Amino acid sequence: MDKRLKVGILGGTGFVGQRLALLLKDHPYFRIAVIAASENSAGKTYREAVAGRWKMTQDIPQAVLDMVVKNINQVDEISREVDFVFCAVDMPKDQIKAIEEQYAKAETPVVSNNSAHRHTPDVPMIMPEINPQHLGIIAKQKERLGTKNGFIVVKPNCSIQSYVPAIHPLMAFKPTKILASTYQAISGAGKTFADWPEMCDNVIPFISGEESKSENEPLKIWGSIEGNVIKDNQEMVITSQCIRVPVSEGHLATVFISFEQKPDRETILELWRNFQGLPQILNLPSAPQPFLTYFEEDNRPQTKLDRDLGNGMGVSIGRLREDSLFDYKFVCLSHNTLRGAAGGSVLNAELLTAQDYLKAKN
């Protein structure tokens, strides 16, 4: 008997939904029971629904090829067939907030890839290695929703997934100022070079909404639970520029940082080399070992060479040196559709399962 949890993918025909379908193939904890999308795809088989717009380099998993896509608005019906859902829908933010709460109130936990609930005060925004303690707010969220089992957990934006992990081991030295410029792959917009030829030989110095996310979301991640809400960290300021570059996968960041108590360079390197988060300690299936990799070479990390470290779930760092305006500067890199999107959501679900927040309904 298959004891894996039954999973639904909401928005299963989109870029992140396709990536989730691949990541959940043969997963030891989860199996796909439902794929749901908009009414345009509902009623079609999955192969029909993604025909002509399958964007992954790997083939569609056999297990979902002939699965009939459901309408995401069939909340009660889908909830009866799954233990929890991943949400990766492409809808207006107010509609996403509403439908995620509908599923939660139908006693179906939601592991969201969307931004709609990232700043809802009692919804934890989790990077599993960084702030697993924020799962403690779920009990308060359930009280608000009036649920026994239903809740929402979100993953942060892909633009912060490279530099927040690099800074986190240094938090004891109290960062005060951070400047992070990100150089973001086109897959972050759900695109490939085939359907976005304008990006070839081009750089676009603006990505709508990204700089605000880069500057504000880390403050919640490094915040603390106070009563019924998560309060943002008030001890640092972050400024950012987010730039679209002609790269298929991988977000690179250049980081400048100052501290209240400046550590020496060897201390920083030692903290990076030895850092383990809870997913590494628990040996979760998607957890990279190691989480952080520091390169001594001056020309690393490189997007093409290093984005797939740890099956795309590792974070790489390089070029640590002192700076004339800040204390230090360095470069870091993460895979935006694995660590930064679908893979981050799967790791969140693995952590929730290991911590007994996700379980079989029957």
Token readout for 113 is: 């890839």
Short-list 158, 79, 162, CA closest to 334 = 162
Residue 37, SS3 per DSSP: strand
Alpha-carbon gap, residue 358 to 7, rounded angstroms: 11
Alpha-carbon gap, residue 50 to 21, rounded angstroms: 12
Q: Where are the beta strands (DSSP E) in the chain?
A: 5-10, 30-37, 70-71, 84-87, 110-112, 152-154, 175-184, 224-226, 229-231, 237-244, 251-259, 292-295, 315-322, 328-334
Short-list 97, 95, 18, CA closest to 55 = 18
Give the number of other CB atoms < 10 A from CB of residue 162.
Answer: 31
CA angle 139, 142, 143 (to 5 degrees): 90
Token readout for 26 is: 């043969």
C-alpha of 38 from chain center? 22
Residue 89, SS3 per DSSP: coil
Residues with catalytic roles: 158, 251
Please report the sign of the dihedral spanned by the C-alpha atoms of residue 28, residue 30, residue 35, residue 37: negative
81 close to 335: Cβ distance less than 8 angstroms: no
